[in-house]
Amino acid sequence: MKHIYQKGSNEEAPVLLLLHGTGGTETDLLPLAEMVSPGSSVLSVRGNVLENGMPRFFRRLSEGVFDEEDLILRTKELHDYLELASKEYDFDKKKVVALGYSNGANIAASLMFHYEGALKGAILHHPMVPRRGITLPALSDMPVFIAAGNNDPICPAAETNELTRMLEEAGAKVDNHWENYGHQLTRSEVEAAGTWFHRNFL
């Protein structure tokens, strides 16, 4: 997968897996990583699917309607790639925290839904429920930060609350951060994610 890897100054800090939103690239979230954990190594990945020329991590049938078959395939692709990257760049794959926005947050959530131990934790900016009607693996005390907008037209509050409930029922420790905005990323939610990250991992 097309990516950027940057070795950090703090080898004890988790590796940040950066996953962009629709139309983004592997450079988009590098400033967020610097704000959240400047000492962490960073693996930033570009999605392999194109929608009208815009990179994504998996196909969708329409706005908010995921292609489940493709989601499952692309989640496995990302999971397998993490294994390869951990060997290539010599990092501990058990110390990876995902930081995703929108479509990237959805594929990060899908990793948690499908693969036990795939992530040490996750920062999800404006995520949706990736799949329904499946049993999640054990997420025993996994720290998860979810940033959401009260006025988000793509990801309504009910979606955030449902995802939170599903993760908590699987054992995750979820912290929700609400903004009075829409689907856009805000500086204040990234700063809140940084405070959360330091409390849980550093």
The total number of residues written for the chain in this structure: 202
Beta-bridge partner residues of 43: 5, 17
CA distance 189 to 118: 24
Number of neighbours of residue 105 by Cβ within 10 angstroms: 28
Residue 90 annotated to the active site:
no
* Mean pLDDT score of the chain: 97
Beta-bridge partner residues of 99: 18, 123
The single residue of 37, 44, 102, 110 carrying the catalytic annotation is: 102
Residue-wise pLDDT for 86-111, tens only, equals: 999 999 999 999 999 999 999 999 99
The predicted structure's pLDDT at residue 137? 97
What confidence category does residue 55 fall into, taking pLDDT thresholds of 50, 70 and 90?
very high
Percent helix, percent strand, percent coil in the chain, to nearest 5? 35, 25, 40
- Which structure tokens are listed for 159? 């979606």
**In the predicted model, is pLDDT for residue 63 greater than 90?**
no
Phi–psi pair at 116, nearest 5 degrees: -65, 130
Residue 183 annotated to the active site:
yes
% residues pLDDT > 70 (the chain): 100
The interaxial angle of helices 157-169 and 103-114, nearest 10 deg, is 20
The single residue of 28, 110, 125, 152 carrying the catalytic annotation is: 152
What confidence category does residue 24 fall into, taking pLDDT thresholds of 50, 70 and 90?
very high
pTM of the predicted protein model: 0.98
CA distance 116 to 170: 11
Contact 147, 32 (CB under 8 A): no
Residue 102 annotated to the active site:
yes
Mean pLDDT, range 5-23, rounded to an integer: 97
The predicted structure's pLDDT at residue 133? 95
Mean pLDDT, range 185-193, rounded to an integer: 98
The predicted structure's pLDDT at residue 64? 85
What confidence category does residue 73 fall into, taking pLDDT thresholds of 50, 70 and 90?
very high
